[in-house]
Chain A
Amino acid sequence: MTGTALGTVLADVRHAVRLARLDLRLLGRNQTAMVNVVLLPVLMGWMSSRLMPEGEPVAGVPAEIFVLTGLPGLMMSFAIFVNLVNNFTARREELVLKRLYGGLTSPAAIFGGAALSAFLVYLAQVALLTVWIVRVEGGSPPANLPLLLLASVLGAAVITLLAAAFSGITRTAELAQVTVLPVLLVMIAGAPLFVPVAQMPGALRILAELVPITPVVEITRTAFLGADHIGDLGEPLSFAEQWDAALPSLAILAGWLVVAALLARRLFRWDTRRG
């Protein structure tokens, strides 16, 4: 029965997993999308690490490593944000969301399913990037995997909710390419990918402090390198100190989670028909 709270949560989780599996199966059937999933981290990694002047360390690490360990945060805006704005908008258009909403699946399960499949794709891309970092660039594997995962989960949750909100103001799937553009530009410009926030020029620095992927970039880099990259210096930290250093950024993400949830609640739409 669905009477108990636990039963409700379990049903939602099972529904979300089922929906995520459907999503991944559909992804597997779409070769273009599959190629993009693999190409994205490889291309972005190659491009952004080549942009750096050779051999000059940033915050105490080789420039390529600095960029690549921060890249997962920025990748999130493609792998999750663009992906889900498209997904939510197209499925609203095709009345898939309406059918699901009217069916046995709760809104939490529907969001959860979409978020889970996007997140799994993102994790696969991060794994690919890690292989690149270790094999090609000669870096070390992540120093603090739990922290890396926590930042990924929190960041993905924020980005998923923002995507839900943006799909609400996107009338058609074609328009999605336009509505995501300003967000992408802001994220790309604002993310502390190439230099630490402290070394960014004034205006960009304010932007960096504001965009929700900055904490993801910084925590991810810190967790990867086992050194303090939240702020600037890159001082080596112990496992416990890494958590300590990440705490303010985690709090910022939690704050973003609330903001994004409110935005999604206000803007998301299940149905094309509205009055």
Chain B
Amino acid sequence: MRTHQETPAIEVSGLRQRYGDFEAVRGVSFSVATGELFALLGTNGAGKTTTIEVLEGYRPATEGRVRVLGLDPRRDRRALRPRVGIMLQHGGFLEDLTVAETVAAWAGFAADVNRPAIGDVLELVGLAHKARTRIRQLSGGQKRRLDLALAVIARPEVLFLDEPTTGMDPEARRDTWEVIGRLRGEGVTVLLTTHYLEEAERLADHLAIMHEGRIHVRGTVDEVVAEAGDRITFRLPEVHWEDLPVLAGVAPAVTRADGRCEVSYTLAEGPAAVRAHAALRPLLDWAAERGLTLERLEVRRGTLEDVFLRVVGETTGEPVAAAVGGAR
């Protein structure tokens, strides 16, 4: 178990990053404990890559403070590099080298600074059968696997993965998740960015949803999902919609089409274990009094997607807000 005194592996406080007039990151703070997997989730252009690149030492922070293993990624670059693995979003290979030659060179770089390389790293990422292939001839997904191999070859203590499974087929994605899971099991701290909700849900101990340069929601997967609330949805003939009840203090969200209404309630307040049940009874009573049938009645827990869409919708004010706007 971790203690509170321990320094986090990654600390970001008040980070701002400007490119000319454009502010890509607008005051972001979070920390990642040693051995934890933290996912930064967001749409393209949310500021995820900028944030991770500041942590990787590629650019100085315009404002704020970042620390990796207690060190400054730029000032202490030399001390930090051997302890950190980086998987870039794409590219960066010498395309005319073979996979094996590339891995051998990177293993050599590691050996030169007394970091013994992982011997069977190509096995680990499932690329051993391509060892003699020139990188130019690899598929996009295979290049991602090689990228992962190079990131972990020197047994880093902290691993930065920028959209590690983008461009992979489902099988490769599952393999990669397994590799990442195994590394985490060995105590490696991982910060990954992704726009796949399933990836974050599957892998992350903690996650943060980033949008337009800010973190809007953060916590464990359960905490974040709990914020989505439970959802009750059904269909009604249109004539009855004005008279719908308020359930547990929540008004319904109604979408009308072809003489019918799609109704949904999002219950975010109250104890998560019982709130759906408590809200359902008055709803069924209301229907019984009017002799109505709630067609396609559905009760489900909120998902990460609900939270994500709400965050994205809230800030841009796009139509997606209306679809999940019942909670407001």
Contacts and interface: CB of A to CB of B under 8 A. Distances in A.
Contact of A29 (B20, B96, B110, B154): B96
A140 interface: no
Contacts of A11: 112-113
A101 B58 contact: yes
Interface stretch (B86-94, B177-185, B218-226): B86-94
Interface stretch (A102-110, A151-159, A198-206): A102-110
Given A8-B78, A15-B109, A101-B58, A95 B95 contact: no
B18 interface: yes
Interface stretch (A18-26, A125-133, A220-228): A18-26
A94 B91 CA distance: 6
B272 interface: no
A96 B92 contact: yes
A93 to B, nearest CB: 9
A2 B20 contact: no
Interface in B60-90: 77-79, 81-82, 86, 88, 90
Nearest to A98: B92
A240 interface: no
A104 B20 contact: no
A129 B101 CA distance: 33
Contacts of A95: 88, 90-92
B94 A104 contact: no
Contact of B88 (A15, A18, A98, A270): A98
Contact of B22 (A14, A99, A103, A275): A275
Contacts of A185: none
A1 interface: yes
Contacts of A101: 58
B96 A104 contact: no
Given A94-B92, A96-B92, A271-B58, A22 B113 contact: no
A113 to B, nearest CB: 11
Interface centre among A2, A29, A271, by most chain B C-beta atoms within 10 angstroms, is A2
A18 B113 contact: no
B197 interface: no
Interface of B: 18-20, 22, 24, 56-58, 77-79, 81-82, 86, 88, 90-97, 101, 105-106, 108-110, 112-115, 150, 154
Interface of A: 1-2, 8, 11, 14-15, 18, 22, 25-26, 29-30, 94-96, 98-106, 270-271, 274-275
- List of 8 A-B pairs having minimum Cβ-Cβ separation, nearest first: A275-B19, A99-B92, A95-B92, A95-B91, A14-B112, A104-B109, A102-B86, A11-B113
8 contacts: A8-B78, A18-B112, A26-B94, A26-B97, A95-B90, A96-B92, A106-B81, A275-B22
Given A106-B81, A275-B24, 17 more contacts: A1-B114, A2-B78, A8-B78, A11-B112, A15-B112, A18-B105, A22-B94, A26-B96, A95-B88, A96-B94, A99-B88, A102-B56, A103-B150, A104-B81, A104-B112, A104-B115, A106-B78
